[in-house]
Structure 1
Amino acid sequence: MLLCTGFVVAVAFGTAFTVVYNESRVETSGQHEFANPVAIPPVVEPRRGADGRDHVDLRLQTGTTEFLRGKQTRTWGVNGSYLGPTIRVRKGQHVSIHVTNDLPESSSLHWHGMRLPAVMDGGPYQEIEPGETWNPHWEVKQPAATLWYHPHPHGRTAEHVYRGVSGMLLVDDDISDALELPDDYGVDDIPLIIQDKAFTDDGQLDFNGRGMGPGSTGILGDTVLVNGTHDPHLEVTRTVTRLRVLNGSPARIYDLGFDDDRPFAVIASDSGLLPAPVERTRLRLSPGERVELLVTMEPGETSILRSHPTDLGGGFPADRFAGADDTLDILQLRAKTTLEPNPAAPRTLSAEEPLTAPADARVRRFELSGTAFINGESMDMGRIDEVVAAGATEIWEVRGAGLPHNFHIHDVAFRILTIDGREPPAWQAGRKDTVFIPAGSTVRLVVRFGTDVDPATPYMYHCHLLYHEDSGMMGQFVIVEPGQESSTPRRLDTGGVHDGRGGHGAGHDGHG
């Protein structure tokens, strides 16, 4: 239900002007029947090639999907009409992905959270023309984690994600296998891709809906889908269920908890397992962030996963524009009358040492301002913003000015040192690749960089509110041999890549 309460008259710099602002909030609690079983994305089966690599075939395609009863929505997907399969890989595995683009325009596929060479990253430099196939390949060198994949064409990422091109990418390893965690995929180990949508009256995706005003964080929908399912429920068959939760929305920030305030155990964040489970009743998840939760239920119980109103730091009207006052029912958990027992969370999860920085670590500072700027500059694909030595550990300070933002760095895992000078809560103290930044706040990160040297192919860092990213709130860094930082060129020849505004050329690394 959409509640509307008027408009605001704003005055700035002594000049009166009127901003017609629909002061609306969305309230869906108590309005769902939870009539539909939540879809579980299939796991794609790799095939072993003569080259010793495990090959996966993905096809970006168009189609139609029935989200709302009796209405067919035009959508995009991967190996289907909406969303894509779950890709499951192991540490030490050599993977080779064949991505064919059957969409009507160029796109790309970025492996969000994966650490790999820049030419395999799937960012703006690896766009795939219609009819072409791109073949990135790499060795998985990181610990078990819940990652995801999504398009990353410069200037069009929000639209492509909103249309449906996304999926889960799960990494397994021997350490996680040895823990007594729920691991029966689709039974007690459940991927949850949470996305909000706005629909037109005839059931099509609305790209100009609520949220797209001055100071916008992006499109906000009043309908929440889980794995592409509207009005979903999950049948719980075991005493403890593992939920791998991804905020796959372009703009919405969720404040997650259950309607009965039941506690849950947080066992992992973006880049892997926490040192130990952390009990919570609420947590905030911004676009691109992931968490793994263990939820315990008794036979016959029901509980609703809900997004609650929250403070995003922007005050009025910025928080209202960002959907902070909304209450959204997301998914009902329905426990059967008889449940199979499985173990509670182990006391210890990961023995990996926390990331630390040397006393002389380089400090870089970034300010995210408006909807399109980092340190006062908008994205320029011909400009290298930062040059980093291979294997370096640095301190990055990131401030969000005026609006809520978040921040994602490609090819790294980082640890949050402080948020406005204070240590983060324990559930945010693990390794991450994306962090929420309340309006006016500063986060201090210790960042460990990879060793794949390529001075000619950048990685990205950017706000993962995708409207901001597309508008230009993105920068580029390259990894070079230690000692080569000052001699590395700061301009690139971008004649062979899209600029997000229609211009492009042919050919890019990794095509097969």
Structure 2
Amino acid sequence: MITRRKFNVGLLTTAFLSGLAPKVLYANSREDWDNLPIPPVQKNESTKKGYVKYTINVQKGFTEFFEGVRVPTLGYNGNILGPTLRAKKGDIVEIVVNNKLDEETTVHWHGIIVPGEMDGGPHQRILPGKQWTAKFIVDQQAATVWYHPHGIGTTASQVYWGLGGLFILDDEVSENLNIPNEYGIDDIPIIIQDKRFLNDGRLVYLTSMRDIMFGMLGNTVLVNGAIEPKKTVPRGIVRFRLLNASNARSYLLKFDKQIPIFLIATDGGFIEKPIEINKIFLSPGERIEILADFSSINEGDIVSLEDGNYKFLKFKIGKKGKNYEIPPRLANFNKITKDESFKTRDFVLSGLGHMVNINGKQFDINRIDEIVEIGTTEIWRVSANMGMHRMMINNNGRNYVIHNFHAHGVLFQVLSRNGKPPALHERGWKDTIALRDGDTVELIMKFKKKGIFMYHCHILEHEDNGMMGQFLVKEDKSKGDLV
């Protein structure tokens, strides 16, 4: 039965969402456990050491979210979402993408630092029936990143209908830590999305002007493409790789039982030392890794992951797991200092709906907004200022996440938020950061790859409506041929 649910719409703000009216069984509502879909790891097509090759088909499909109701969806090599890709630091990666849709698409490697021509942004269009090959070397630390479409005006709809998948980067550090590493058993991917269903079980998109203004918010949370799934986990330490793949919704997650939880990685990989936390905040596009210790929970007991009081993922505690540890140290973290900065730039995110903009401008693929020298370090001061639109968000509260900021081609560190040191969970390597109205964050980053890259709001309806700019990384500041 689909009932009335409540879940978080911002950093601290909770809102009621109407559930579906009829008594319909979920397609995955069997009483047995372990119906949480685990995205399969894609098989490497290459036999050469240090060379990874994948083929991805972007295709239409059908998914049965509710028993007896099949709805159209999109997927990579399947009906919805995509396989998990893996590569190791130093690997050469080749990915062949076949577009089997009847509209153009792209595939962006969100969080992977690659040259601009391999980034999979709006300049790497794949027309219907055509193919594109990305080839790059992995030269960053272990991290949980992801891939998704990034066209002009089509990103939000294609992600909403199902396109997205995890990409796990490994290195020697990650392989030598005594932390859970059995994928799908004690190292569990969690892709969180929200969707809007009608009373008859149909999936719908953009049904009101509010969806365009604030971004698409659903009435049901999916995990790995399933509604309220369940999984048995070992009684011990379990690793969760969490991705917020929602179009616009932010989550404040916690377990409904008191258990030790340790943050071990942010967008760009491991932090220096584990940080004990009790709640997990994720805005769209952000990822974190946590270690949850279920040792104190009795075998057979149930622990739920919830947002507000919406318990959307249940775990049954199984038999004792392997003897992992909470490491005292995870990885070296080289902090970038302010005095390394070559330049400071300002980016102001404003507006709602069709009036969104960055620094008063909307996206133009024929315009380069910023020019950056390769190898330099800069501070980007990013703020959200709603101005005349402030009255429209007052009912959501001061803590409502109205925009967030993602930069391609770089990882950054957060120097400050509103003039103060960043929260503990924002002190690792990042590529996406949340902004409430009036917030200002200082981000410091070093540019290591040449090419044209995007920066934008990762509330996808805002991105599609023009809340995006381009920066060119090149040898010098002379303008030259930009596009």
Aligned to 1:356: 337
**Match among 17, 20, 30 for residue 26 of structure 1:** 17
**Percent identity between the aligned chains?**
41
Does residue 386 in structure 1 map to residue 370 in structure 2? Answer: yes
Q: Pick which of 406-415 and 423-432 moved more.
A: 423-432
Distance 1:70 1:152 in 2: 32
Q: Structure 1 stretch 256-265 or stretch 162-171: which is displaced more? A: 256-265
CA distance in 2, matches of 1:241, 1:214: 36
Matched, 1:299 2:298: yes
Alignment of 1:345 onto 2:326: yes
Q: 1:209 to 1:243 in 2, by over 3 A?
A: farther
> CA separation in 1, counterparts of 2:170 and 2:49?
22
Task: Output aligned runs, 1:52-451, within 5 Å.
Answer: 53-209=51-207, 212-213=209-210, 216-297=213-294, 298-300=297-299, 301-308=301-308, 327-336=309-318, 338-358=319-339, 361-371=342-352, 372-402=356-386, 404-450=402-448
8 A contact 2:50–2:90 mirrored in 1: no
Partner of 1:43: 41
CA shift for structure 1 position 40: 0.3
Q: In structure 1, how many angstroms separate the alpha carbons of the residues matched to 2:210 and 2:350?
A: 16
| 2:346 partner letter | R
* TM-score normalised by structure 2 residue count: 0.88
CA drift at 1:73:
1.1
- Following the alignment from structure 1 to structure 2, what is the Cα–Cα distance between the partners of residues 65 and 214? 23
Q: How many correspondences in the alignment?
A: 445
Aligned to 1:467: 461
1:209 and 1:221 in contact (8 A); partners too: no
| Matched letter for residue 302 of structure 1 | I
How has the CA–CA distance of structure 1 residues 275 and 52 changed in structure 2, closer, same or farther, with 3 Å as cutoff? Answer: closer
Structure 2 distance, partners of 1:250, 1:270, is 17
- 1:431-470: CA deviation from partner (whole Å, max 9, x where unpaired): 01001111211111111211x333xxx2000000001100
> 1:205, CA displacement in angstroms?
2.0
Distance 1:52 1:143, change over 3 A: closer
Q: Report if aligned partners of 2:212, 2:461 keep a CA contact under 8 Å in 1.
A: no
Quick one: distance in 1 between partners of 2:270 and 2:473? 27
Aligned to 2:9: none
CA distance in 2, matches of 1:54, 1:3: 43
Quote how far apart the aligned CAs of 1:159 are. Answer: 0.2
> Tell me, what secondary structure is at the counterpart of 1:119?
helix
Look up the SS of the partner of 1:175 in the other structure: helix
Shift of 1:104: 1.3
Q: Give, in whole Å, the separation in 1 of the partners of 2:216 and 2:331.
A: 37
> In structure 2, the residue corresponding to 1:160 is in which secondary structure?
helix
Q: Distance in 2 between matches of 1:113 and 1:170?
A: 10
Q: Which runs of 5+ in 2 are unaligned?
A: 7-13, 387-392, 394-401
Cα distance between partner residues in 2 of 1:155 and 1:426: 35
> In the alignment, residue 231 of structure 1 is paired with which amino acid?
E
CA shift, 1:51, in A, is: 11
AA partner of residue 299 (structure 1): N
Question: How far did 1:486 drift?
Answer: 3.5
Distance, in Å, in 2 between the alignment partners of 1:343 and 1:105 is 47
Q: CA deviation at 1:214?
A: 8.0
State the one-letter code of the partner of 1:329. Answer: K
**Helix, strand or coil: the match of 1:196?**
strand
Distance verdict in 2 for CA 1:487–1:278, change over 3 Å: same
CA distance in 2, matches of 1:90, 1:50: 14
Distance 2:5 2:134 in 1: 47
Aligned: 1:487 with 2:468: no
Q: 1:207 to 1:92 in 2, by over 3 A?
A: same
Q: Aligned equivalents of 2:172 and 2:481: distance in 1? A: 41
**Mapped partners of 1:155, 1:215: distance in 2:** 12
| Structure 1 portions without partners, runs of 5+ | 5-22, 309-326, 493-512
Q: How much does 1:53 deviate? A: 3.5
Aligned counterparts of 2:341 and 2:196: Cα–Cα separation in 1: 49
**CA-atom RMSD, angstroms?**
2.2
Ranges of 4+ aligned residues in structure 1 off by more than 6 Å = 31-34, 49-52
Distance (whole Å) between structure 2 residues aligned to residue 151 and residue 188 of structure 1: 29
User: What CA distance in whole angstroms lies between the structure 2 residues aligned with 1:214 and 1:231?
Assistant: 24
Deviation at 1:356, TM superposition (A): 2.5
Inter-partner Cα distance in structure 1 for 2:134 and 2:261: 38
Judge conservation of contact 1:192–1:246 (CA < 8 Å) in 2.
yes
For the residue of structure 1 that corresponds to 2:339, the secondary structure is coil
Distance in 1 (CA, whole Å) between partners of 2:303 and 2:170 is 29
Q: Which whole-Å CA distance do the structure 1 matches of 2:426 and 2:142 have between them?
A: 17
CA 1:424–1:369: 2 relative to 1, 3 Å:
same
